[in-house]
Amino acid sequence: MKKQYRTGSVQSVVLWTLVLALLLGFAVGSYSAASRARAAVAAAENLATGIPPSPVVTSARYDKAGGALVLKVLNPGLVPLRLIDQSLVFKPGAGSEQEAYALAALPLGVEVPPLAELEVRLKLKSDSEDLVVGDVLAASVSYTHPYSNDVYMLTHLFRVTEESARGKEVPEPAQPQMNQPKKEGESKEGGK
Amino acid sequence: MRIFLGFLWGVLLALAIWGLAVGLLLATPHELAVLLGFAGFMLLASRLVWGYGELGAFAGALQAGQNPDREAAEAGAGVHDAQELAAEVLAGLWLAALEPFRYAFIAAYVLLFLITLATKLAYPVLSVWGWFTGTSLIEGVFWGASIAALIVWALSAAAAAQVASLRRGPSRVSAG
C-alpha cells in the first residue's frame, strides 16, 4: 500500500506544537528584549551626550629638557571639548632663584575627543630657571563645549616635589593637595 | 444577578481595552512589528483556522459516534446533494478543499522568511551577534507571522491526523 500523505496522531501533533511554541516564544521574547535593550541604551546615550563634562587632569609631569609642564587631560563625557588657551602663574619656593611670573592666554587649540585622554604641554617662561623643590605652578586651561558659547576654566595646582623635579610623572591623587579649604589656626603652608 | 454579571463583564472589557491601549503605547516599534505580522497573517489564515477547526470538530464527532454536522461538511467540501457520500469521504474532501489556502499561506510565509533572511545577509554569516539580535523591523513581522504559522500548522496537522485515523479507526463500520 502506498504511504499516505500527512498522517500521524493528534497526540504527537500536540507534543510537537508545545515544543515549537516554547522555541518560538523564546525567539520572540529575545527579539522583544533586544529591542527594549537597544531602546534603553539609545536613551542613556542621548542623556549622556546631552551633558557636557568637565576635563579632568589625571597626572602631571615636569619636562625639564623641554621646559614645560605636561598635563594628561581626560574628557570623561561624550561631547568633545576644545582647549582654547593656557595661563600660568609661577610662585618660587624658598630655594628658587627664579622670580615669580605669570603668563596669560597663550593659544592652545587642542580638541579632546569624547572619552579620550590627551597630553597637553604648557610651556614655562622661556629661559627661566629649572623648577626646584617647593616651587608652585598654577596652570589654567580655558575650554569650551559645543552646547554653549561660554568659556570655562580649569586650574591645576602643581607643587614641585623631589620626585617631580626630576621629571617623574605624578598622578593627580598623589600630588600635594593645595585646594583644600584652610582651617583656622593653620599656617599658610599647612596641609599635607 | 444578570445586571451584576453584565456590570462585571463591562469592567473586564474596560480593563482589557485599557491594558491593550497601555501596551500599545509602551511597545517598541519592533514589538508593534511582531503584532502587525501576527495580525496580518492571522487574517490570511482565518479561512484555514475556521476550516480546520470545524473539520476537527466534525471528525471528532464522527469518531465519538455522535451525529456530525453534515451541512457544514458539505459546504466546506464544496459538494451538493451528497447524502450518499460517507462522512469519512466528506471529511477527506473537506481536507483537500483547504489545501489551496494552506499552500497560499505557506507561500506568503516562505516569501517573508526569504526577505527576512536576505536582510540578515548584511551581517557576516559567522557573526553570531548580528544574526541573533534582530535589528530589522521586517524580522519582527516575520516572528509575528511565525506564531500564526505555528497555529496553522498545528490545526492542519491535527485535522489531517484525525481524518487519517477515520480511515483505519474502529468507528468506520458503525458510521458507514
* Per-residue pLDDT at A185: 64
End-to-end CA distance of chain B: 48
In this prediction, the residues of chain B whose per-residue pLDDT falls under 50 are 171-176
Does residue B13 lie within any of the structural domains? no
Structural domains counted in chain B: 1
Does residue B173 lie within any of the structural domains? no
Distance, CA of A63 to CA of B77 (rounded, Å): 94
Q: Which of residues 20-39 of A touch B (CB under 8 A)?
A: 20-21, 24, 27-28, 30-32, 34-36, 38-39
Q: At A103, which amino acid appears?
A: L
Interface touch B161/A13, C-beta < 8 Å: yes
Residues belonging to chain B with any Cβ–Cβ distance to chain A shorter than 8 Å? 28-31, 34, 132-135, 139-140, 143-144, 146-147, 150, 153-154, 157-158, 160-162, 164-165
* Per-residue pLDDT at B130: 66
* Per-residue pLDDT at B126: 72
Of A8, A24, A31, the CB nearest to B161: A8
Does residue B62 lie within any of the structural domains? yes
* Per-residue pLDDT at B175: 43
Residue B119 domain boundaries? 29-164
Residues 6+ apart with CB under 8 A from A159: A134, A135, A136, A137, A175, A176, A178
A43 has a chain B CB within 8 A of its CB = no
Does residue B130 lie within any of the structural domains? yes
What proportion of chain A, given as a percentage, has pLDDT over 70?
90
Element (H, E) at A26: helix A10-49
Q: Which chain B residue's Cα is nearest to A19? A: B150
Residues in B touching A31 (Cβ below 8 Å): 30, 34, 134, 139-140, 143
Interface touch A35/B28, C-beta < 8 Å: yes
Q: What is the pLDDT averaged over residues A79-100?
A: 88
* Per-residue pLDDT at A187: 54
Does residue B169 lie within any of the structural domains? no
Of B31, B146, B164, the CB nearest to A32: B31
- The pLDDT tens digits for B130-156 are 676 667 899 999 999 999 999 999 999
**A146: confidence class by pLDDT, cuts 50, 70, 90:** confident
* C-alpha distances in Å from residue A3, one per residue of B59, B96, B167: 21, 17, 13
Residues in A touching B135 (Cβ below 8 Å): 38
Residues 6+ apart with CB under 8 A from B36: B140, B141, B144
Interface touch A13/B34, C-beta < 8 Å: no
**A15: confidence class by pLDDT, cuts 50, 70, 90:** very high
Q: Which chain B residue's Cα is nearest to A31? A: B134
Q: What is the pLDDT averaged over residues A38-62?
A: 87
Does residue B176 lie within any of the structural domains? no
SS3 content of chain A, % helix, strand, coil (to 5): 25, 35, 40
Does residue B92 lie within any of the structural domains? yes
CA distance, residue A51 to nearest chain B CA (Å)? 26
* Per-residue pLDDT at B14: 96
Whether A131 contacts A62, CB under 8 Å: yes
User: SS3 of A141, please?
Assistant: strand
Query: Would the pTM of this model clear 0.80, i.e. be above it?
Result: no
CA distance, residue B36 to nearest chain A CA (Å)? 13
Asked if the model's pLDDT at residue A188 lies above 60, the reply is no
Of B29, B135, B161, the CB nearest to A10: B161
Does residue B45 lie within any of the structural domains? yes
Distance, CA of B32 to CA of B47 (rounded, Å): 24
